[in-house]
């Protein structure tokens, strides 16, 4: 099972890689970005969310109303 700190660290790491691969003002979904986005989504499923201002402080998932 994942702990909250691991989830946050891994999602932050994935998001940095995604940012580095994206070109401003151009949308291209390459395989690496798609893989990292899926991994983030899977990590969010394991998160024990703690919401602040509508977003989880660990995995950034938006609070569902």
Handedness of CA 19, 25, 30, 34 (dihedral sign): positive
Handedness of CA 56, 60, 64, 65 (dihedral sign): positive
- Find, among 3, 18, 14, the residue nearest to 48 by Cα: 3
| pTM of the predicted structure, to 2 decimals | 0.80
- Find, among 1, 36, 50, the residue nearest to 58 by Cα: 50
pLDDT digits (tens, 9 = 90+) for 13-53: 999 999 888 877 776 668 888 999 999 999 999 999 999 99
Residues listed for the chain: 65
């Amino acid at each position: 099972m994942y702990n909250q700190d691991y989830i946050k660290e891994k999602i932050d790491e994935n998001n940095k890689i995604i940012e580095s691969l994206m070109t401003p003002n151009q949308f291209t979904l390459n395989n690496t970005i798609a893989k990292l986005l899926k991994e983030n989504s899977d990590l969010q499923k394991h998160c024990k969310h703690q919401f602040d201002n509508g977003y989880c402080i660990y995995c950034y998932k938006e609070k569902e109303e």
